[in-house]
Amino acid sequence: MTAPMNRRDVIRSLGATAALAAFAPAAKAEPAKLKGRIKQCVTRGTFRKMPIEEFCKTVRDLGIVGVDLVSDQKEWAVIRDSGLIVSMAPGGGSIKKGLNDKSLHPGVLEDFKKNIKAAADFKWPNVIALAGDREGISDDQSLENCAAILKEASKIAEDAGVNICIELLNSKVNHPGYVCDKTAWGVELCKRVNSPRCKLLYDIYHMQIMEGDIIRTLTDNIQYIAHFHTAGNPGRKDLDNEQELNYPPIMRAIAQLTEEGKYNGYVAHEFGPKNGVESLRQAVQLCDV
């Protein structure tokens, strides 16, 4: 039978245990446990100066599952190997010179072919499309021109299993002249293209500036929406109490649409954080409804 330890033995034992604990490797941090009703992502540009390996670990630990707008394809393998996805890859067109300019269509179609194939090879779900500035082109003519190129690009996207997402941007503050600046215009474009792979990137910040009425608009048009972006308005800053958008009910509406089988996409944060990673952490927690 082992003799009972006296007070000195106990103290000596505890000291040894503490010493061992001091030299033991730290427990590996696990990613934040989120409810998961909203699949949250972040744009690469939010922390563009952060090395990609550090970036991936940082955002994954917050519970984020994907990264938007990663133009450097050399980073794609790192993102994939980190257990993340590129939730929005490059596609075709630019904000100033986009799909509504017919003279650019041959080059834009080649961009779509190359970028859709690259996304499909990595099994990324979406590529972005930008309609371009009006620059003397009427809204009706822009619709016709955009629909023409997107009909061709959508055939490629359908075969590849990739979505083309036309981004809605505001023309009032950030992008004067941009033609795809209203939900109704974007929806009409999707109707004309008539492809299950041609949908909208609904940027909540931009559409708050142009239209407001966010929950009703996204709910009524969810069949044409494949992806969301967030930011606080005004200023495209944090999702905090200094801006006018109330994100929890917006996220609950998206989560409800997901549970009803009407939406299966992602919500990506795209804002200028005031307090670095802590700002992104707060946004993720706020949207984890």
- What pLDDT, on the 0 to 100 scale, is given for residue 78? 98
- What pLDDT, on the 0 to 100 scale, is given for residue 33? 85
Query: For 211, what's the count of Cα atoms within 13 Å in the CB-facing half-sphere?
Result: 20
Enumerate the domain spans of the chain. Answer: 34-287
- What pLDDT, on the 0 to 100 scale, is given for residue 79? 98
- What pLDDT, on the 0 to 100 scale, is given for residue 5? 46
Tens digits of pLDDT across the chain (289 residues): 444 444 344 334 444 444 334 344 444 456 678 998 999 999 999 999 999 999 999 999 999 999 999 999 999 999 999 999 999 999 999 999 999 999 999 999 999 999 999 999 999 999 999 999 999 999 999 999 999 999 999 999 999 999 999 999 999 999 999 999 999 999 999 999 999 999 999 999 999 999 999 999 999 999 999 999 999 999 999 999 999 999 999 999 999 999 999 999 999 999 999 999 999 999 999 999 9
Structural tokens at position 148? 């023409």
Phi, psi of 34 (to 5 degrees): -105, 165
Helix axes 183-193, 139-160, angle to 10 degrees: 50
Question: What's the rounded Cα separation, in Å, for the pair 109 and 164?
Answer: 12
Question: What's the rounded Cα separation, in Å, for the pair 155 and 166?
Answer: 16
Q: 279: closest CA among 42, 49, 5?
A: 42
46 three-class SS: helix
Question: What's the rounded Cα separation, in Å, for the pair 38 and 35?
Answer: 8
Query: Whole-prediction pTM value?
Result: 0.88
**Domain covering 34-287: architecture:** Alpha-Beta Barrel (3.20)
Q: Tell me, what amino acid is at 92?
A: G
Output b/e per residue, 68-101; b: 16+ Cβ within 10 A.
Answer: bbbeeeebbeebeebebbbbbbbbbbbbebbbbb
DSSP code per residue over 223-274: GGEEEEEE-BTTTTB-SSTTSS--HHHHHHHHHHHHHTTS---EEEE----S
